[in-house]
């Protein structure tokens, strides 16, 4: 029988060095409540995306269907743009403006974040925990945490899955478990509406019409996960890496332009931000359909803009190749240090 446990930890005092910029510790509250569960459909956890433009009218840029369709069609009709003569800060500003998340990134550490542990399982070399992230701006989403039995503080990895996947798939197929077994703390969020068609298509169009993007939500949520990881007393906040696949890689490629908090990043995908799940029109629009990023897509693909050390691997199947898997683990060991 499952025991009911409720306890609260306010993190930060135990992690005074959590910020590499010398600011106050991130505002994170951790609660353990094993009576809870997380059913995204039952909670209607997509609702914060649908309601986001109405909830933030001061930042919204309303447009009609025709305007959005014209912008997408215009990008579709053009060749890949040349690399623009932009500084690192200028590119960062262009990305933040295109995603329209500057107001979310500003004050991120001060904004309250609650993380609820609602399930815990002992594995041979790590503890597996299911988490609920609760943020006042984007609502609730689930994550999977793997905490190894290695001395603290240890390096950590944030893992971002792709379309049709989950943290559990990432744990088994994309090195999540292998990295935990190697001694790294690993946290993998469940990215909502990550199934190409509805609700992802409908939410993507709705956000674009409001002047926002679903990709912007994913970028912000990744930064929330990093904020949580950085707050943990068991983690060395200066040694956090990012491991991504497919749509998760598209997300990570933007995150590492916006923040320098990730020391190392493994990615297997870059896009020109005209991606569709099928053929045009709207039924195919998804999180990687961001025409406002198309103009700077060549710059985004340029690693010289990043302070995060980046390793590119072949798409998807490379994670099943023993030599590539070993190379990824070695890369993190080299860049983050051994646990």
Instruction: Give the pLDDT score at 276.
Output: 86
Percentage of the residues of the chain whose pLDDT score is greater than 90: 85
CA-to-CA distance for 271 and 247, rounded, in angstroms?
9
Percentage of the residues of the chain whose pLDDT score is greater than 70: 91
Angle at 190 between CA 183 and CA 33, to 5 degrees: 80
Instruction: Give the pLDDT score at 5.
Output: 41
- State the burial class of residue 328 (Cβ atoms within 10 Å of its Cβ: 0-12, 13-18, 19+): buried
Q: Which residues pair with 266 in a beta bridge?
A: 243, 311
Instruction: Give the pLDDT score at 23.
Output: 66
pLDDT in tens, 279-316: 555 558 999 999 999 999 999 999 999 999 999 999 97
Q: Is the pLDDT of residue 26 over 50?
A: yes
Instruction: Give the pLDDT score at 196.
Output: 87
The structural domains of the chain, ordered by start, are 6-336 (3.40.50.1820)
b (16+ CB within 10 A) / e for 247-273: bbbbbbbbbbbbbebbbbbbbbbebbb
Residue 274 DSSP code: B
Count of other CB atoms within 10 angstroms of residue 84: 12
Instruction: Give the pLDDT score at 126.
Output: 98
Count of other CB atoms within 10 angstroms of residue 329: 17
Q: Is the pLDDT of residue 19 over 90?
A: no
Instruction: Give the pLDDT score at 18.
Output: 33
HSE at residue 192, side-chain half, CA atoms within 13 A, is 28
Q: Is the pLDDT of residue 321 over 90?
A: no
pTM for the whole thing? 0.92
Q: In terms of pLDDT, which residue wins out, 92 or 3?
A: 92
Q: Is the pLDDT of residue 186 over 90?
A: yes
């Amino acid at each position: 029988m499952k025991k009911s446990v409720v306890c609260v930890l306010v993190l930060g005092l135990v992690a005074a060095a959590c910020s590499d910029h010398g600011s106050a510790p991130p505002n994170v509250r951790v609660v353990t409540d094993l009576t809870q569960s997380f059913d995204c459909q039952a909670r209607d956890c997509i609702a914060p995306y649908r309601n986001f433009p109405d909830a933030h009218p001061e930042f919204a840029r309303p447009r009609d269907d025709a305007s959005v369709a014209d912008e997408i069609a215009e990008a579709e009709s053009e060749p890949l743009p040349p690399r623009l003569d932009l500084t690192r800060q200028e590119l960062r500003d262009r990305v933040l403006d295109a995603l329209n998340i500057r107001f979310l990134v500003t004050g991120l550490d001060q904004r309250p974040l609650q993380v609820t542990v609602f399930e815990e399982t002992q594995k041979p070399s790590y503890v597996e925990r299911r988490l609920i992230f609760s943020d006042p701006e984007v609502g609730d989403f689930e994550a999977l945490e793997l905490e190894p039995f290695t001395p603290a503080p240890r390096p950590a990895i944030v893992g971002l899955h792709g379309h049709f996947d989950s943290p559990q798939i990432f744990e088994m197929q994309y090195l999540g478990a292998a990295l935990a077994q190697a001694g790294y703390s690993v946290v993998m969020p469940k990215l909502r509406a990550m199934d190409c068609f509805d609700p992802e298509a409908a939410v993507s169009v709705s956000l674009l019409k409001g002047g926002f993007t679903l990709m912007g939500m994913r970028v912000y949520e990744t930064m929330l996960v990093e904020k949580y990881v950085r707050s943990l007393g068991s983690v060395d906040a200066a040694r956090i890496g990012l491991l991504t696949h497919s749509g998760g890689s598209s997300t990570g490629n933007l995150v590492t332009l916006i923040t320098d908090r990730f020391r190392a990043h493994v990615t297997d995908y870059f896009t020109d931000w005209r991606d569709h799940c099928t053929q045009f029109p709207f039924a195919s629009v998804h999180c990687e359909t961001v025409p406002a990023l198309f103009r700077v897509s060549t710059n985004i693909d340029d690693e010289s803009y990043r302070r995060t050390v980046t390793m590119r691997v072949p798409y998807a199947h490379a994670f099943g190749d023993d030599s590539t898997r070993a190379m990824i683990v070695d890369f993190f060991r080299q860049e983050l240090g051994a646990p």
